[in-house]
Structure 1
Amino acid sequence: MVCDRCKRVVAEELQKLGYTVHQVNLGEAEVSANEGNPDLEQIREMLESNGFELLDDRKTQLIEKVKLAVIELVREAGESDLHINTSDYIAEKLDLDYNYVSSLFSASEGITIEKYLILQRIELVKELLVYDELSLKEIAYKLGYSSVAHLSNQFKKVTGLTPSHFKKIKSDKRKTLDKVQE
């Protein structure tokens, strides 16, 4: 779950199944069954029918927490002009050693956290280009790029397009946050 709408859908669907929903956050939900224990298979089916998945092992949950932390980091940097060290942020956010988290993420996802961060940043660049409120120079600064050239090169490497060309075509080039690495 990566947005408020996603959280609302999950909460509503869990309530329809008869569960008391205590809270729904990005990537997790706290519920109790009105009778007995929650039926995980029923919850899994409901989540899958809505485009989500049930993460029931610790490593998968940790990977999801890393993804959410990266998304938060990119969004916070994009909104505050604050440039934060990725490894420090993730280690602090998850209260785990970054080398351990990084190794686990790479083994599980087939890409590094740094590559995932770049993909997320490029998605935010796309969004900002579509909104057309900031210049490319302002976007580069806001997202912590050393220069417009660095942003443009990275954008082209990921998308195959220059930012200015992307801005011209705009259509169907953005992905939902949960589909970024696909």
Structure 2
Amino acid sequence: MNTIFIKNMVCNRCIMVVQSELEKLGLEVVDIKLGEASVQKELTAEEKSQLEKALFSFGFEMIDDKKARTIEKIKNVIINLVHYQDNDIKTNLSEVLSKELHQDYNYLSHLFSEVEGTTIEKYFIAQKIEKVKELLVYDELSLSEIAFRLNYSSVAYLSNQFKKITGLTPSYFKQIREKKRKPLDQV
């Protein structure tokens, strides 16, 4: 079995696209999740080259560097936690990352800051704010329900953090919601 690490996979649609491209190349997919895909056999140089081109056309990149793979895993754990695990953010982020990546949080934090130029915490907050934007646009939940879902201690705290990051209040953002959101891989 061979694991391929892939940058910029941020949603279930990304997983479907990557799986489709692997299958087009005749590769048997054993497992696939955000940031990585396992195939039955080792890729030849030609298959690897074809896969890199195919993935690149969809905005993905194959990752060979160990540090880059670790950074991508950190991002994927955070994206999964914020965007797909409703109200499970109550757990301690440093514990979740250490457990998921089987590495010391201090090492992960230092590496992330060194490579990304921002902290894990700021990245986590940016993802939470993107989720708030998404939920505001859907207009199905009140701000209070959004605060609860994303484990904010209060609506006021969520509003203050939202304004600090976006420059807008959540209610004003809701009014101008046609404003485009950033894709998750550009946060």
Query: What TM-score, normalized by structure 1, do the two folds share?
Result: 0.89
Question: Aligned to 1:96, which of 88, 91, 103?
Answer: 103
Kindly indicate whether the alpha-carbon contact (under 8 Å) linking 1:129 and 1:167 is maintained by their aligned counterparts in 2: yes
1:136 aligns with 2:143: yes
Superposed displacement of residue 42, structure 1: 2.1
Structure 1 match to 2:24? 16
Kindly indicate whether the alpha-carbon contact (under 8 Å) linking 2:81 and 2:88 is maintained by their aligned counterparts in 1: no
Structure 2 match to 1:109? 116
Kindly indicate whether the alpha-carbon contact (under 8 Å) linking 2:90 and 2:151 is maintained by their aligned counterparts in 1: yes
CA distance in 1, matches of 2:112, 2:89: 25
1:83 aligns with 2:90: yes
What is the RMSD computed on CA atoms of the aligned residues?
A: 2.0
Question: Aligned to 1:66, which of 60, 74, 81?
Answer: 74
1:118 aligns with 2:161: no
Kindly indicate whether the alpha-carbon contact (under 8 Å) linking 2:87 and 2:150 is maintained by their aligned counterparts in 1: no
Mark the runs of 5 or more structure 1 residues left unpaired by the alignment.
Answer: none
Q: 1:38 to 1:61 in 2, by over 3 A?
A: farther
- Secondary structure at the residue paired with 1:24? strand
Kindly indicate whether the alpha-carbon contact (under 8 Å) linking 1:18 and 1:33 is maintained by their aligned counterparts in 2: no
Superposed displacement of residue 170, structure 1: 0.7
Bigger drift between 27-36 and 60-69 goes to 27-36
Mark the runs of 5 or more structure 2 residues left unpaired by the alignment.
Answer: 1-8
Kindly indicate whether the alpha-carbon contact (under 8 Å) linking 1:14 and 1:43 is maintained by their aligned counterparts in 2: yes
1:20-35 alignment, distance < 5 Å: 20-32=28-40
Structure 1 match to 2:5? none
Q: 1:54 to 1:133 in 2, by over 3 A?
A: same
- Secondary structure at the residue paired with 1:8? helix
Aligned length: 179
Q: What code does the residue aligned with 1:22 have?
A: V
Superposed displacement of residue 115, structure 1: 0.1
Superposed displacement of residue 160, structure 1: 1.4
Structure 2 match to 1:158? 165
